[in-house]
Structure 1
Amino acid sequence: MPKNGIVFSSFSRRSVLKAAGATAALATVAGLPTRLLAADPIKVAAVYTVPVEQQWVSRIHKAANAAKERGDIEYVYSENTSNNDYERVMREYAEAGHKLILGEVFGVEEAARSVAKDYPDVAFLMGSSFKPDAALPNFSVFDNYIQDASYLSGIIAGAMTKSKNIGMVGGYPIPEVNRLMNAFMAGVKESAPDTKFQVAFIGSWFDPPKAKETAFAQIDGGADLLYAERFGVSDAAKEKKVLAVGNVIDTQADYPETVVASALWHFEPTLDKAIAEVKAGSFKADDYGVYSFMKAGGCSLAPLGTFEGKVPAEVMAKVAEKEKAIKDGSFTVEVNDNEPKSS
């Protein structure tokens, strides 16, 4: 699979166009429709700025591979794409005939929208802090609105901290990180309202050594439980024999004595909606964030695994009660995008 972008020669581009023309001609002769049939897989490409192992991107990658295995899409991707190279890679995928392009454009918003404007027949579904624009009908946005699951994991964390001092290590203080941290903190206070928080950001989406060192400092500051928004935090917790709460993915199998709970993001509802819209010819500028909400199946609390039975029964009963209320709409977890502060 392509990594770090794809490169096509002018010859290969002409070959692709000639092949497409031949196919269209054959369809016309045979009396077949030339437009995409609903049962045909659509060509999907993704452009990632980090490795596909990174938490956030891994969930998009997982959903895309599931759709590929079902036969709904053809899927290729580029990982570790620098911001400076992002626009070029997007354009080459669009030129290659991909009908849906995925990615995260937090650092290249203007360039990404410029590409979408130049390819109105291609659907773009991009992780973004900004809203869709009706003037750009083929560009939709999404985000990991998993505050519901983060809140529930906080309820558990509040019951498991003994020092009432929790360390939190994030990548950047942007809305998609802030809202999860704030929801987690609100959940903690449901169980332990007097808890103090140490909040830090490492200025990177993927720097496990830096996240680990930051977590060590928070443990030295009295934290006996860590919120692992970034890779590296759970490693620090394991070494120092304190607990951790995971984010986006379930790492309990890797840290069976450390990770007590995790808030999981499920990108499948988001991607499946986009695929259906592209196939139906009805894709439009929209905010797909709602498909990450718990009631849409976009997030969940991971199984407790080795911590089953170690979290007090009354706490898990409270979690179950809140989860039911979230799903039936009688309780709403606040979406707070403000930067969380240490307390």
Structure 2
Amino acid sequence: MTTRRQWIHGSVALAAALAAGSPGLALAQAKLKVAAVYTVPFEQQWVGRIHKALKAAEARGEIEYKATENVANADYERVMREYAQAGNQLILGEVFGVEKAARQVAKDFPKTAFLMGSSLKPQAPNFSVFDNYIQEPAYLSGMIAGGMTKSNKIGMVGGFPIPEVNRLMNAFMAGAREVNPKVEFSVTFINSWFDPPKAKEAAFAMIDKGADIMYAERFGVSDAAKERGKLAIGNVIDTQAQYPDTVVASALWNMEPSVDRAIKLVKEGKFTAEDYGPYSMMKHKGSELAPLGTFEKKVPADLVAKVKAREADIRAGKFTVKVDDGQPKASFK
């Protein structure tokens, strides 16, 4: 018994010593504590993709996940601090309206990893940024829109004219022009991240002026297209199931590559300040063009062939979709 007891005690002591000498090992053996702070509801498409990736990691048993939605900008810093003080090792969110406050929290908690949606650069040592660099599938969806419009007029409703929105709109417009040089665009920003009624009214106005395809950067646009019997192109998420006769295609954002990378690096004790933007691109499986689904037989075969050829060129590195963060300009009002 003495020998067996000594062996057990020795094993426990060895494990403790290894854990103490290797923080990465200790973290790998326990679930990572992860929190997220969102200024909009989980159902909002942009935040919804982050939430989906984190819920998947939670379902795999890799993390303990807590999140707060609908946080006002004035409360954002407080909620971030509370999560950091509670011992969360990785904190995510979108800080476009609270950059200064969020970065100060990161400075005050240098041992906590932060991965935040931001237009600005990373901040050493622990504040990484990400962005929805899904301009490649946005370009492809634009090709579909350009080939499907009969009036040659496309309406576009966005949230705010910031780089994250502008680059997708500009890529979409470039794709449409590739297959249809005659196409014109109407562009409106509703100055809100989540106001479906306002987006819907803006879409109605464009349809009244001749637009027969709507670029639905915001919720509410597809509802207007559906009610008027027009078509829509989705953004970030695929809503064709909800609008089977309206949404032709969508540029999808997959946040899993970025989230999984951050979790892995924190567990290994290797998380540093970096730009995760590239992990939203197609080569990292961070974005894709949604299947045509209900429109598979409605989109002309020659147009599908052009889109597939361009997609193959993008994946092979033979074609680069330009990143244009400038505010898109309307060609008809």
**TM-score normalised per structure 2:** 0.93
Distance 2:61 2:87 in 1: 18
Q: How does 1:35-114 map to 2 (within 5 A)?
A: 35=23, 36-114=26-104
SS class of match (2:28): coil
**Aligned residue-pair number:** 315
Residue 107 (structure 2) pairs with residue 117 (structure 1):
yes
Distance 1:40 1:329 in 2: 39
Tell me the amino acid that sits aligned with residue 34 of structure 2: V
1:69 deviates by 0.8
Match of 2:307 among 292, 309, 319: 319
Distance 1:30 1:168 in 2: 59
SS class of match (1:166): strand
SS class of match (2:185): strand
Distance 2:323 2:284 in 1: 16
SS class of match (1:198): strand
Q: Deviations over 1:262-290 (max 9, x none)?
A: 00000000101111111111111100000
Distance 2:321 2:215 in 1: 18
Distance 2:91 2:242 in 1: 32
1:29 deviates by 9.4
Aligned counterpart, 2:16: 31
SS class of match (1:272): helix
Match of 2:317 among 322, 326, 329: 329
Distance 1:30 1:176 in 2: 47
SS class of match (1:117): helix
Distance 2:63 2:316 in 1: 33
Mark the CA change 1:126 to 1:28 in structure 2 (over 3 Å): closer, same or farther.
farther
Q: Deviations over 1:48-80 (max 9, x none)?
A: 000000000000000000011111111000000
Distance 1:28 1:181 in 2: 59
Larger radius of gyration: 2
Residue 183 (structure 2) pairs with residue 189 (structure 1):
no
Match of 1:244 among 211, 220, 232: 232
Aligned counterpart, 2:136: 148
SS class of match (2:252): strand
Distance 2:154 2:309 in 1: 24
SS class of match (1:334): coil
SS class of match (1:77): strand
Q: How does 1:264-283 map to 2 (within 5 A)?
A: 264-283=252-271
Aligned counterpart, 2:126: 138
Q: Deviations over 1:286-336 (max 9, x none)?
A: 000000001110000111111011111111111111111111111110010
SS class of match (1:251): coil
Percent of aligned positions that are identical: 68
Distance 2:125 2:168 in 1: 29
1:156 deviates by 0.5
1:224 deviates by 0.4
Match of 1:298 among 277, 286, 294: 286
Aligned counterpart, 1:235: 223
Does the 8 Å CA contact 2:45/2:237 hold for their aligned counterparts?
Answer: yes
Mark the CA change 1:254 to 1:118 in structure 2 (over 3 Å): closer, same or farther.
same
1:30 deviates by 6.6
Structure 2 unpaired stretches of 5+: 1-11
SS class of match (2:27): coil
Distance 2:282 2:15 in 1: 47
Distance 1:333 1:228 in 2: 20
Residue 159 (structure 2) pairs with residue 159 (structure 1):
no
Residue 242 (structure 2) pairs with residue 254 (structure 1):
yes
Structure 1 segments (4+ residues) deviating >6 Å: 27-30
Does the 8 Å CA contact 1:39/1:72 hold for their aligned counterparts?
Answer: no
Does the 8 Å CA contact 1:125/1:139 hold for their aligned counterparts?
Answer: yes
Aligned counterpart, 2:209: 221
Q: In angstroms, what is the RMSD of aligned CA positions?
A: 1.2
Tell me the amino acid that sits aligned with residue 59 of structure 1: R
SS class of match (2:199): helix
1:190 deviates by 1.2
Distance 1:324 1:70 in 2: 32
Mark the CA change 1:155 to 1:31 in structure 2 (over 3 Å): closer, same or farther.
same
